[in-house]
Amino acid sequence: MKPFFPAVLLGVGLSTATVTPAAAYPVDCAILLCLAGGWPASAECVHARAVFIARITPWPIEPPLQIWNCPMRASFQGEQRPIERLFDIAFGGDVPPPALSFPQVSADPILVDAQADVDISDAAFDFVRSIRVFEITYRQNRSSDGDCNSWGTVYMGSYGEQGDYSRRRSSITAIPEASDFGIPASCGSYWHRSVFVEWRDYEGTYGHEEVHY
């Protein structure tokens, strides 16, 4: 399955010649496929990535991939594997998809028990579980009496075996090196607030994005 998946994705999956823009599939199905394929250069994947990043841009943020909104079970046929059903949804099938649109920011909490409606524990979906979201806030300054004061909070969001999203307190030391975050060697005035998201595609290639506030 490993060689087949990216080949189909890049070869025919998200070609602008085979997918009708704006209403071809639920956007989270597009995010799932485009993320797996390393965000191929197509109009559909450009839009999917924009939604993926837009979800970590508001404050509070949303899970960038909401796999529970991609109805994989809807196109179940016999012994098809989840990846194969996903292709059916995106490029055919009988599920009437909603129009693609940027998400509306909601103050309502995301339920952490929301998950994919099929079994995605297979290693083919490890790229979903590779996604990590870091909410970073850090302040440092020297007080009038010469003391170096610092304060910071980090929260990390991650995906479980079935695509369920959870968010928990983390630490400054857990922030990936690819982030722009970096405490000055001297105690100068420093302020950092961002959301950093990292992932690996289906082939294991690393990617990341950071939104500053």
Instruction: Report whether 59 contacts 136 (CB < 8 A).
Output: no
To 10 degrees, the CA torsion angle through 131, 175, 167, 135? Answer: -100
DSSP-derived pairing of the beta strands 206-212 and 132-142? unpaired
From first to last of the 213 residues of the chain, give the pLDDT tens digit. Answer: 444 444 444 443 444 334 434 334 578 988 998 999 899 988 889 999 999 999 999 777 899 999 988 887 654 455 555 556 556 554 444 443 333 333 333 334 444 468 887 788 888 889 999 999 999 999 998 888 888 999 999 999 999 999 999 999 999 999 999 999 998 888 888 999 999 999 999 899 999 999 998
pTM, full prediction: 0.76
Identify each DSSP E strand in 115-175 by its residue range. 132-142, 148-159, 165-169
